[in-house]
């Protein structure tokens, strides 16, 4: 626990994630990001009298899959409740949600502390979850000078809420939690979790208490945390503010505060007295969901390996360094690409290095300067280089056809033209000479031109061979296979 000025922070997160399903939660209206305002609506979404909700089975399945990945208990029966409130983002004046019988109970998320920033495997622990429930998203309001605009495209989209126990103890742990959760959900195809698109949203509850005490302090809920680093920054500010207040003799009042990322401060939105009573009651239009063991095991079978498990496997099975595996496992597409490439050519380290250094550099150069931690990385596909293409390139290096330097040039050519490694190398005339007859002739000539270096080498000065090698490489314009040159030279020198 990171203590500040004699106080410890306690944090609990409420994370909303849109499930990437084709249609909405209770109707067949399509849902996707980027449609023009109010295009994705129908009478059910608009809450017209006489319409009835119909469950989206895929959304329920995805929620159960999240629960299975996070070790939640999946009760046999789960039901739907109406949460009432009056606000223009919700056309029916109630939101269909889950109150006391959610789809998932308990569970936990594995997090890694301090690792990525120190380039070594950090400490791992699990953050406990309270529950995960499924509900419908609401519309989006945009406040303009002379009023507010409302867009119901998002309304009715399937949304899960993941609630943690007060089991997070620093802003950095909150950052690690959200990073891990996002990787896990992206990896399983549950959601793209793009916070800029509102696909993942987080409210953070935070309190402080004197070091050594166990009773939790009064919590403050932070809203408008629009990125993972926003959550961390907002919490840092709020923890300092609460400690400052307590030190000045004030008490913390339970309240909701808004994070202003630009100003770097939180400000009061409302206090507990203004909290509303949602009058939850079971939705009479929807049957409870029954979840059989068969259904659960079927859903479990469709789940991929978890990112941290995959990382441990890469380190153990392929002896890959930690830093490389943390990049590869931060993104499903990268690990799928990597695994496809090593199936084609079995050199995991060289392939992993090529992906994490060269390919990602190309992607970074091509994408905007937005923070990689929060932003969507441009897709590897957009480079037009396939996993098999990368495997072929590394194979050419391993066969001695290309030097590492040439491989970089060939890769740039592959990206520029979309052609195979073979074709690019051919077109650019990049090929190490591995013709030993030809190399032997050039080596002989280099020795003749360099009698001094030959004598010195024979007298025991090992390094003198480099002068001769230099001539060979110059004569071949760098295209001779250095390993072969070394072999041939040593053979010639030994035979006098
Ligand atoms: P509410 O009744 O206000 O909804 P809950 O008990 O349901 O509060 O908790 C909501 C979130 O706040 C959870 O993530 C929980 O872990 C967190 N939380 C609850 N109490 C505290 C506290 N004293 N300090 C920090 N977080 C807390
Ligand atoms: Mg609550």
Q: To the nearest whole number, what is the mean pLDDT of the chain?
A: 92
205-219, 274-288, 345-359: segment of lowest average pLDDT: 274-288
Long-range contacts of 454-463 (CB under 8 A, 24+ apart): 454/493, 457/493, 458/493
Residues 6+ apart with CB under 8 A from 28: 42, 54
What does the DSSP assignment read for 205-217? EEEEEETT--S--
Whose Cα sits closest to atom 11 in ligand 1?
A: 12
Q: Could you report the per-residue pLDDT of 118-141, keeping only the tens digit for each?
A: 678 889 999 999 999 999 999 999
**Residues 449, 456: Cα–Cα separation, whole Å:** 14
Q: Which helix (H) or strand (E) holds 259?
A: strand 255-260
3-7, 171-175, 266-270: segment of lowest average pLDDT: 3-7
**Residues 397, 348: Cα–Cα separation, whole Å:** 14
Q: Of 13, 100, 133, 219, which is best to mutate to test ligand 1, by the most ligand atoms within 8 angstroms of its C-beta?
A: 219
166 lines ligand 1 (CB under 6 A): yes
- Measured from the Cβ of residue 370, the count of other Cβ atoms closer than 10 Å reads 11
Burial of 74 from C-beta contacts in 10 A (0-12 / 13-18 / 19+): buried
Q: Of 1, 11, 12, 214, which is best to mutate to test ligand 1, by the most ligand atoms within 8 angstroms of its C-beta?
A: 12
Q: Of 166, 206, 207, 220, which is best to mutate to test ligand 1, by the most ligand atoms within 8 angstroms of its C-beta?
A: 166
Whose Cα sits closest to atom 9 in ligand 1?
A: 12
Q: Residue 345 pLDDT more than 90?
A: yes
Check if the beta carbon of residue 143 is closer than 8 Å to that of residue 224: no
The pTM of the full predicted model, rounded to 2 decimals, is 0.86
Please give the domain boundaries of the chain with CATH numbers for all domains. Answer: 3-297 (no CATH), 305-428 (no CATH), 436-494 (1.10.10.410)
255 lines ligand 1 (CB under 6 A): no
Residue 1: per-residue pLDDT: 56
- Measured from the Cβ of residue 432, the count of other Cβ atoms closer than 10 Å reads 24
163 lines ligand 1 (CB under 6 A): yes
Q: How far is the CA of 129 from the centre of ligand 1 (A)?
A: 12
Q: How far is the CA of 25 from the centre of ligand 2 (A)?
A: 22
Residue 376: per-residue pLDDT: 46
Q: How far is the CA of 436 from the centre of ligand 2 (A)?
A: 75
Q: Residue 6 pLDDT more than 90?
A: yes
Q: How far is the CA of 259 from the centre of ligand 1 (A)?
A: 18
Rg (CA), the chain: 30
Q: Residue 372 pLDDT more than 50?
A: no
207 lines ligand 1 (CB under 6 A): yes
Q: How far is the CA of 225 from the centre of ligand 2 (A)?
A: 19
What three-state secondary structure class fits 103?
coil
What does the DSSP assignment read for 131-143? EEEEEE---EEEE
Q: Residue 314 pLDDT more than 60?
A: yes
- Which residue in this structure is represented by tokens 């230099």? 470
Give the residue-averaged pLDDT of 201-224. 97
How much of the chain, in percent, has pLDDT values that exceed 90?
79
Residue 374: per-residue pLDDT: 39
Q: How far is the CA of 130 from the centre of ligand 2 (A)?
A: 10
Residue 371: per-residue pLDDT: 40
Q: Could you report the per-residue pLDDT of 22-68, keeping only the tens digit for each?
A: 999 999 999 999 999 999 999 999 999 999 999 999 999 999 999 99
Ligand nearest to the CA of 130: 1
Residue 365: per-residue pLDDT: 63
Atom of ligand 1 nearest to the CA of 166: 16
216 lines ligand 1 (CB under 6 A): yes
206 lines ligand 1 (CB under 6 A): yes
Q: Residue 19 pLDDT more than 80?
A: yes
**Residues 300, 68: Cα–Cα separation, whole Å:** 7
14 lines ligand 1 (CB under 6 A): yes
Residue 71: per-residue pLDDT: 98
- Higher-pLDDT residue of 481 and 423 is 423
Question: Which tokens go with 316?
Answer: 């153990």
Burial of 374 from C-beta contacts in 10 A (0-12 / 13-18 / 19+): middle
Q: Residue 405 pLDDT more than 90?
A: no
Distances in Å between the alpha carbon of 408 and those of 233, 345, 380, 411, 478? 39, 18, 17, 5, 14
Q: Which helix (H) or strand (E) holds 334?
A: helix 332-344
Question: Which tokens go with 329?
Answer: 């496992």
Check if the beta carbon of residue 156 is closer than 8 Å to that of residue 133: no
Count H helices and E strands in the chain, helices first.
17, 17
12 lines ligand 1 (CB under 6 A): yes
- Higher-pLDDT residue of 332 and 436 is 332
* Opening angle at CA 401, ends 395 and 406, nearest 5: 90
Whose Cα sits closest to atom 15 in ligand 1?
A: 12
Q: Of 204, 205, 251, 277, which is best to mutate to test ligand 1, by the most ligand atoms within 8 angstroms of its C-beta?
A: 205
Q: How far is the CA of 254 from the centre of ligand 2 (A)?
A: 13
Residues 6+ apart with CB under 8 A from 63: 19, 103, 104, 132, 134, 160
Whose Cα sits closest to atom 17 in ligand 1?
A: 12
219 lines ligand 1 (CB under 6 A): yes
Confidence of residue 155 (pLDDT cuts 50, 70, 90): very high
What three-state secondary structure class fits 186?
helix
Atom of ligand 1 nearest to the CA of 205: 26
**Residues 205, 10: Cα–Cα separation, whole Å:** 8
**Residues 25, 98: Cα–Cα separation, whole Å:** 13
């Amino acid at each position: 626990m990171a203590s500040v000025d004699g106080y410890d922070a306690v944090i609990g997160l409420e994370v909303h994630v849109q499930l990437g399903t084709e249609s909405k939660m209770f109707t067949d209206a399509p849902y996707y990001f980027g449609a023009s305002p109010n295009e994705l609506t129908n009478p059910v979404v608009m809450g017209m009298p006489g319409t009835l909700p119909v469950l989206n089975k895929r959304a329920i399945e995805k929620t159960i899959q999240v629960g299975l990945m996070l070790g939640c208990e999946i009760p046999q029966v789960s039901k739907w409740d109406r949460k009432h409130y009056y606000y223009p983002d919700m056309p029916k004046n109630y939101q269909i949600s889950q109150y006391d019988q959610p789809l998932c109970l308990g569970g936990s998320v594995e997090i890694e502390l301090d690792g990525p920033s120190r380039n070594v495997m950090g400490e791992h622990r699990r953050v406990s979850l309270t529950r995960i429930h499924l509900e419908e998203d609401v519309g989006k309001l945009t406040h303009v000078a002379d009023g507010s605009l409302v867009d119901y495209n998002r309304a009715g989209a399937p949304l899960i809420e993941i609630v943690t126990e007060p089991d997070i103890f620093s802003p950095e742990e909150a950052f690690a939690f959200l990073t891990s959760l996002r990787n896990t959900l992206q990896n399983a195809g549950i959601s793209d979790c793009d916070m800029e698109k509102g696909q993942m949203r987080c409210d953070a509850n935070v309190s402080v208490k004197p070091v050594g005490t166990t009773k939790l302090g009064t919590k403050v809920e932070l809203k408008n945390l629009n990125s993972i680093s926003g959550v961390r920054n907002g919490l840092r500010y709020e923890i300092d503010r609460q400690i400052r207040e307590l030190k000045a003799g004030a008490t913390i009042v339970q309240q909701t505060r808004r994070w202003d990322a630009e100003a770097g401060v939180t400000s009061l939105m409302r206090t507990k007295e203004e909290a509303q009573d949602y009058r939850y009651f079971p939705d009479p239009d929807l049957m409870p969901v029954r979840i059989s063991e068969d259904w659960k095991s079927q859903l479990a079978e469709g789940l991929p390996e978890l990112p941290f498990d995959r990382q441990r496997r890469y380190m153990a099975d392929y002896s890959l360094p930690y830093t490389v595996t943390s990049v590869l496992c931060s993104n499903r597409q990268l690990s799928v690409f990597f695994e496809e490439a090593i199936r084609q050519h079995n050199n995991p380290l060289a392939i992993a290095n090529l992906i994490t250094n060269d390919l990602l550099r190309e992607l970074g150069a091509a994408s905007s300067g937005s923070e990689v931690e929060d932003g969507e990385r441009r897709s590897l596909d957009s480079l037009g280089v396939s996993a098999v293409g990368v495997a072929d390139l590394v194979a050419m290096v391993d066969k001695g056809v290309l030097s590492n330097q040439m491989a970089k040039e060939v890769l740039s050519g592959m990206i520029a033209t979309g052609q195979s490694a073979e074709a690019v190398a051919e077109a650019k005339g990049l090929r190490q000479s591995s013709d030993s007859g030809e190399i032997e002739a050039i080596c002989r000539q280099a020795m003749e031109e360099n009698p001094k270096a030959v004598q010195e080498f024979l007298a025991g000065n090992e390094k003198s061979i480099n002068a001769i090698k230099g001539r060979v490489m110059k004569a071949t314009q760098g295209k001779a296979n250095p390993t072969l040159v070394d072999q041939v030279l040593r053979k010639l020198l030994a035979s006098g």
